[in-house]
Amino acid sequence: MTDAEIRDILLSTRRVAVVGASDRPSRPSFGVTQFLVARGYAVAPVNPGIAGRDLHGAPVVARLSDAGPLDMVDVFRRSEEAGAVVEEAIRLGARTVWLQLGVIDDAAGERARAAGLRFVQDRCPVIEWHRLGLPAKIA
């Protein structure tokens, strides 16, 4: 994706489901979820193991289907598990699927793009936000 496309995704997205969100501060998903909340996104952390709790002020849900409606699905899962999340994101009408650093599934990306979704893989929105010099909060 181009910088302009990444910028557009980050600035036009409003509601993000973070699949694989963790309540452990040592986990990258903990920090990314915190970052997204601080930037003004409506975040729905998805993790069946901690469902019903709050994470950075956002209620954790057990399933992606409980997170809707959503603009973007941010995926913190192993590459071999990402395809199933992408399929569900397509079914639920997400606009964007974002696979985190180290998460790569080209076939899932092809399916997402064929369904009209924007697809980002092997990148982190926090890193991209800073690299692109985006504002402190979404407008």
Distance from C-alpha of 66 to C-alpha of 58, rounded to nearest angstrom: 13
Distance from C-alpha of 89 to C-alpha of 51, rounded to nearest angstrom: 19
First vs last C-alpha separation in the chain: 22
pLDDT at 66 over 80: yes
- 55 phi, psi to nearest 5 deg: -130, 110
The model's pTM: 0.95
Please state, as a whole number, how many other Cβ atoms lie within 10 Å of the Cβ of residue 132: 13
Q: Which domains does the chain have, with CATH numbers?
A: 3-131 (3.40.50.720)
Q: What digits encode the pLDDT tens for the residues 69-96?
A: 899 999 999 999 999 999 999 999 999 9
pLDDT at 13 over 90: yes
Per-residue pLDDT averaged across 50-60, rounded? 96
Distance from C-alpha of 37 to C-alpha of 67, rounded to nearest angstrom: 15
Distance from C-alpha of 24 to C-alpha of 44, rounded to nearest angstrom: 16
CB-based contact 73:99 (threshold 8 Å): no
**pLDDT band, very low/low/confident/very high, at 68 (cuts 50, 70, 90):** confident
Distance from C-alpha of 79 to C-alpha of 83, rounded to nearest angstrom: 8
